[in-house]
């Protein structure tokens, strides 16, 4: 007679016991009672209808995903943002592939998922991140017997998108001035300082919003900033001395109890209004960060200086994006002896 039962062992530990076709006692541990009850019910159904030697696991996709997210959060100790990324990947896979069982995972499903993500114009980096998350999920599911061992035979490859990288939109000096004037007219000094910090330091929008008044050192013209994307802390980031003077006057007028540098929260709608007022509808907030590198390299500084200030992971990334602004390339082009070649040649335009 097919039978499986659940008993509690310790705090938040539930064990499912059953005997397989060879009468060997098997067990599986869960953290929640409802997961153990679901697995127990599926195991009884499998033993009754699967016949001798049946070994397929008939848990639902939702149960496997929930158990995996608990494992990533509680056992692996991942940060909430990382757990949320895993959750989004599993939810997107279920949304595009429909309701499936964990034991039906195959390479064809992965190929179909990539195709659906391509139709949604998803970036190649996002697709590769989803593939890494799914690979880790399937390995864990095989380990916990949610999926058969044949899932390990799936060939995981990096998806490469054959599209050219778009150059970031940068500001000219006049556009920079128009943007500052529009910010002053609409929302006052705080937004002017936001834009100045983005252009002169290359910080991202989230890092600027998290700045505190105590992070700015007016004497040394430096600031302390946390790069949340790279999880790095820079304790002495250089600042433009003109911007430091404006910040010192602004901080002196802040209330003593106010720790945050900004009196209001960032809203994308406000930046959209500033763009419209300055007649610059095609720029993004990231264009301010790109303009920092543009102004630095046009002033004659090397690509390595721009890489260090923007905290790019490799020099190649800065080179690919801002190669046309490099002073080395400009000097090389200007070194071509065009004037000597044109001597004595009368060109009437």
- pLDDT of 107: 84
Task: Tell me which architecture the domain covering 4-153 has in CATH.
Answer: Orthogonal Bundle (1.10)
- pLDDT of 160: 64
User: 1.10.443.10, 1.25.40.10, 3.50.30.60, 3.30.70.20: which CATH number matches 173-333?
Assistant: 1.10.443.10
Tens digit of pLDDT for each residue in 121-170? 888 888 889 999 999 998 888 888 788 777 777 877 666 654 455 677 88
Cα separation, 15 vs 32, in Å, equals 10
- pLDDT of 292: 86
- pLDDT of 277: 93
Q: What is the pTM of this model?
A: 0.52
Tens digit of pLDDT for each residue in 269-312? 999 999 999 999 989 888 888 888 888 888 878 778 888 887 77
- pLDDT of 153: 75
Q: What percent of the chain has pLDDT over 90?
A: 13
Which residue numbers in the chain have pLDDT < 70?
1-2, 45-46, 48-59, 157-166, 228-235, 255-258, 321-334, 336, 338, 341-342, 344-349
Q: Where are the domains positioned within the chain?
A: 4-153, 173-333
């Amino acid at each position: 007679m097919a039978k499986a039962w659940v008993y509690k062992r310790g705090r938040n530990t539930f064990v499912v016991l059953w005997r397989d076709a060879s009468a060997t006692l098997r067990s599986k541990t869960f953290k929640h009672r409802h997961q153990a009850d679901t697995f127990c019910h599926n195991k009884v159904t499998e033993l009754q209808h699967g016949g001798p030697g049946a070994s397929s696991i008939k848990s639902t996709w939702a149960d496997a995903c929930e158990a995996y997210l608990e494992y990533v959060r509680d056992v692996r100790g991942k940060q909430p943002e990382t757990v949320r990324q895993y959750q989004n990947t599993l939810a997107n896979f279920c949304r595009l592939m429909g309701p499936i069982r964990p034991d039906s995972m195959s390479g064809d499903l992965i190929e179909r998922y990539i195709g659906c993500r391509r139709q949604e114009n998803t970036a190649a980096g996002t697709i590769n991140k989803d593939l890494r998350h799914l690979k880790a999920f399937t390995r864990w599911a095989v380990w916990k017997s949610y999926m058969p061992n044949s899932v390990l035979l799936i060939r995981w490859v990096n998806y490469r998108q054959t599209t050219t990288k778009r150059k970031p939109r940068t500001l000219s000096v006049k556009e920079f001035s128009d943007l500052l004037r529009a910010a002053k007219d609409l929302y006052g000094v705080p937004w002017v300082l936001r834009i100045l910090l983005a252009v002169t330091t290359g910080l991202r929008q989230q890092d600027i919003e998290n700045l505190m008044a105590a992070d700015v050192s007016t004497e040394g013209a430096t600031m302390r900033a946390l790069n949340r994307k790279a999880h790095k802390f820079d304790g002495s980031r250089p600042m433009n001395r003109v911007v430091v003077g404006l910040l010192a006057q602004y901080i002196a007028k802040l209330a003593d109890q106010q720790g945050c540098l900004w009196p209001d929260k960032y809203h994308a709608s406000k930046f959209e209004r500033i763009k419209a007022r300055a007649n610059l509808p095609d720029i993004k907030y990231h264009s301010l960060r790109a303009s920092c590198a543009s102004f630095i390299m046009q002033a004659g500084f090397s690509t390595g200086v721009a890489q260090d200030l923007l905290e790019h992971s490799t020099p190649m990334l800065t080179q690919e994006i801002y190669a046309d602004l490099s002073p080395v390339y400009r000097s090389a082009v200007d070194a071509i002896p065009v004037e000597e070649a044109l001597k004595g040649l009368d060109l009437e335009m």
